Amino acid sequence: MLGLSKKDLTFLLIVAVLTLCAPFLLNPFPTDSAMAQFNAGYPDLMQRFVIFGIFAIGFNILFGLTGYLSFGHAAFLGVGSYSAVWMFKLLSMNVLPAILLSMIIAGLFSVLIGFVSLRRSGIYFSILTLAFAQMSFNLAYSVLTPITNGETGLQLTLDDPRVLGQSATPQGGIPVTSLFGIEMRATHELAVGGWTFQFNAGYYLCAIVMILAFYVALRIFRSPFGLMLRAVKSNQNRLNYTGLNPKPYTLAAFVISGVYAGLAGGLLASMDPLAGAERMQWTASGEVVLMTILGGAGTMIGPVLGAGFIKYFENIFSKINDTVLHQWFAFMPDGMEDFFVFLLHPFVGKGWHLTLGILFMLVVTFLPGGLVEGGQRIARLLRRERTDSNDRPDPEHHPRETPHVAE
């Protein structure tokens, strides 16, 4: 079914169910409880989970399958965002044309960069992609200001010459992005006991797109094309000796990866119609590398887990300040309370990068395969314990020994 094996189809369905049920799963604590600050089930963060999951899935097609490490994928993310905002300014506030344009422009841009960068491999390829990304950032920041609006960023205005749809609402405001009349910011709240669950139209659009992107990536991983990319990663010289030219395959993987990045950029602009040059900085490219390695490069679900892990730390742990820490340890004597606040202060709030860095080092050191390897180890451990418990004889049901009768 859908061109997938039974195992892959089950895997896809599990991912789809978990993604669609995220408003429930990411709100485990009651709204009024002290632990509610660890809830991640609000629209803005959930959208970032799936959008950067798409970004990481696309990057994994290049890095996980071919082994080519790009430090310039943020350029495609930024190009996709700029393309989407320009579509909103010139055509309509419908997100569908904007998303399609962002994929097309990012794909064309990746053909250009990939054609040049893939003439080299290894560290030289990585440096070339980083150079192109920094060139793109500088162009967007200072040179192409009539197109990108420089450091201020490209955003919607009341003077936009929108062909389809109105340039301003009857109240004099800027129209919001929508999908055939469904506003992306529309949110329905459901109160159940002490919990409040938020169902956002923009999140579900991003979630459906991510499920489709995950399905396409799964087909690529299981296809002969994916097998050829693995051969490139395994030993490209040996592949050349067989008479096969790996360049078209690596370029195709690079372009597909760039299209995924453009799709993520278009979705970012669709949720918040603003595009800035900071999305094209080298730090954004490094972030997707961290997401993929942290989750598990070369695996299907790993990049999505890595993206969620990093965005969770960025948005949740960065909000924990000294006031919150004092509330946590208020039951202690004043001296001990101040000591624990002093101890944890460098690891939360503005210091969340330090905590993330420590966790990243621990994962790389003890789980080279990323979070996916950790899950696999836990599953094997549980399976072994279950097998041992089943094989252990029950002392109350020993078979009665047959007495020895002398002949």
Question: Which residues does 226 contact at the CB level (< 8 Å), separation at least 6?
Answer: 65, 220
Mean pLDDT of the chain: 88
Q: List pLDDT tens digits, range 178-228.
A: 998 899 999 999 988 888 899 999 999 999 999 999 999 999 999 999 999
Question: What is the pLDDT, as a whole number, of residue 265?
Answer: 95
47: closest CA among 392, 311, 369, 382? 311
Over the stretch 325-334, which tens digit does the pLDDT of each residue have?
888 888 888 8
* pLDDT value at residue 406: 44
With bands split at pLDDT 50, 70 and 90, how would you rate the model's confidence at 392? low
Phi, psi of 195 (to 5 degrees): -100, 145
Q: What are the b/e assignments for 172-211, b being 16+ CB within 10 Å?
A: eebbebbbeeeebeeeeeeeeeebbbbbbbbbbbbbebbb
| Per-residue confidence (pLDDT) for residue 303, from 0 to 100 | 92
The domain segmentation of the chain, as residue ranges, is: 40-164+175-282
pLDDT tens profile 289-306: 999 999 988 888 999 999
Q: Give the torsion sign (CA, 291, 295, 296, 301).
A: negative
Kindly report which listed range (27-41, 71-85, 101-115) carries the lowest average pLDDT score.
27-41
pLDDT of residue 260: 96
Residue that the structure tokens 């970004």 belong to: 55
Q: What is the pLDDT of residue 101?
A: 95
pLDDT digits (tens, 9 = 90+) for 91-101: 889 999 999 99
Q: What does the pLDDT read at residue 258? A: 95
Rounded distance, CA 213 to CA 364, Å?
A: 27
Q: pTM for the full model?
A: 0.90
Compute the distance between CA of residue 337 and CA of residue 90 in angstroms, rounded to an integer: 57
pLDDT digits (tens, 9 = 90+) for 147-182: 998 888 898 888 888 888 777 888 878 889 999 889
